[in-house]
């Protein structure tokens, strides 16, 4: 039988569900935000606002995104290489033996994939979305990929932070004596 207030139990259940399905939820959130931007732009005359913001800035924005995604992609690949070296550490035995171990690697792989897609999308936008021939659909896709990448990077940073906390935690003690 469960204890606690019903709202606390519901909150805990929702948190557990989110922890199991966060990649799907974040991908869906990125998609919904992109759809919301598209609907606002197409139905509520937001396109003029977007065009005025992009006018004369497209090349700079897309070039900055290419640099950002490319750099983060390199850092993510390097991070996975470093994490792979530490995964055999004794303190990570519990992680290796757990059911979330595969999910652990999927988070990093997902970040790498999203950043690669983001880099390709930003290059595509840089080449095809021009002030003289604007392609608003490319901007929408670039926006969606940017939101998706942000969620994936956040998940990777969170996971990496937890791993660092495990690796740098003081050793456990027995009978008050440090090991």
Residues 163 and 81: their CA atoms lie apart, in Å, by 14
How many whole angstroms separate alpha carbon 74 and alpha carbon 72?
A: 5
Cβ atoms 38, 140 nearer than 8 A: yes
**Of 94, 113, 96, nearest in space to 155 by CA:** 113
For residues 156-178, average pLDDT: 72
Note the pLDDT tens digit of each residue in 77-124: 998 898 888 788 787 777 777 777 778 888 999 999 999 999 999 999
What pairs with residue 178 in β-bridges? 173
Domains of the chain, residue spans: 58-165
CA distance 26 to 158: 14
Q: Report DSSP state, residue 45.
A: S
The pTM assigned to this predicted structure is: 0.81
Strand partners, 59: none
- Tell me which DSSP letter residue 44 carries: S
Structure tokens at 171: 């050793």
What number of other Cβ atoms are within 10 A of residue 24's Cβ? 10
> pLDDT of 51-85, one tens digit each?
999 999 999 999 999 999 999 999 999 988 988 88
* Mean pLDDT to the nearest integer, 1-20: 74
Q: How far is CA 147 from the centre of its chain?
A: 8
């Amino acid at each position: 039988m469960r204890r606690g207030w019903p709202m606390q139990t519901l909150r805990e259940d929702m948190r557990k569900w989110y922890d199991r399905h966060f990649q799907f939820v974040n991908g869906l959130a990125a998609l919904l935000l992109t759809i919301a931007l598209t609907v606002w732009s197409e139905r509520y005359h937001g396109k003029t606002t977007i065009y005025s913001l992009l006018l004369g800035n497209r090349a700079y924005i897309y070039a900055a995104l290419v640099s950002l995604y490319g750099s983060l992609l390199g850092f993510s690949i390097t991070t996975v290489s470093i994490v792979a070296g530490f995964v055999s550490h004794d303190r990570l035995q519990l992680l290796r033996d757990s059911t979330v171990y595969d999910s652990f690697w999927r988070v990093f792989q997902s970040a790498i994939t999203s950043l690669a897609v983001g880099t390709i999308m930003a290059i595509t936008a840089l080449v095809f979305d021009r002030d003289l021939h604007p392609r608003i659909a490319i901007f929408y896709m670039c926006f969606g990929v940017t939101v998706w990448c942000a969620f994936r990077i956040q998940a990777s940073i969170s996971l990496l932070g937890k791993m660092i906390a495990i690796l740098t935690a003081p050793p456990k003690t027995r009978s008050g004596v440090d090991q």
